[in-house]
Amino acid sequence: MSDTGDETSLPAPAVSVPCTAQRGGVSFPSTRMVPDEQAVAFTYNGSTHAVMMATPADLEDFSIGFALTEGLIEDRSEIENLEIMPTPLGIEARVWLKGDRAEAYAKRRRSMAGPTGCGLCGIESLEAAMRPLPRVTAEAKVSSQAIIAAMASLDPAQTLNGVTHAVHGAGFWTEREGLVALREDVGRHNALDKLVGALVRDGRTAADGMILMTSRVSIELIQKAARINAPVLVAVSAPTAAAIKLADEAGMTLVAVARRQDFEVFTHPERLNETSRQVASHVA
């Protein structure tokens, strides 16, 4: 696969803006670093598939991760070429799919444009939203100490959030390697897609570690994590009921409200060692 496009020509992921600050009842001119947000259009073989508002960084990772978690590809090798192209209106991520995958995508496009009453918001999009997930087959075990250490590793690694205090992070952590990769974005889904892309480009899945999120857990995050066989997803905030149900069905261990020494286990506690299961039972 060929990755082209110079990300150094993209807008900076954070910019300084003027503001009026008030401290101790006193107002004064000041500045603040805030994250940038750009329209990123994903095109596949010349057809626009989606436009996402995202932080303009790690866009090659984003493009690959989005294609994989949306089921447009099964493997990175199915991408023939990838270009990141800044434009006056935003950024285009131009992806060219190979042979059979390109043909399958063309058929999908024709199906989505069919006579379903309201077009893209009809049956096709509902089926896509609730598509069956691959069953998580990874059998990695984790300890409570590992969960605590993994979440503690996120904050120091979030350089963009350290500057702006306004972006989400998605990380991958293993007991053997520690924090393997971390990606940041104004959107939590975007951050996870970027992380997935980074892992795929490195030739690995999430089977031997934990996905870490600095956000709440919605159903889309479970769908994306399952696509790379993640046995454990840990998040700082609470999950939705739909996310819990889907994680349980997919065979994924969902740990949430993970803050300092505390966490709650919602699904498949058997992946935690005996001590951790006792902790989980006590927290519950």
Q: To 5 degrees, how large is the angle CA 193–CA 181–CA 4? A: 60
Angle between helices 219-226 and 188-201 (to 10 degrees): 0
Picking from 55, 29, 43, the residue whose alpha carbon sits closest to that of residue 169 is: 55
19 is an active site residue: no
Instruction: Quote the DSSP letter at residue 240.
Output: P
- Marked catalytic residue, from 118, 132, 260, 284: 118
Give the full edge-to-edge strand order of the sheet including 90-97.
2-4, 79-87, 90-97, 38-44, 47-54
Integer-rounded Cα Rg, in Å, for the chain is 20
Q: What are phi and psi of 268, to 5 degrees?
A: 45, 65
Query: Catalytic amino acids?
Result: 118
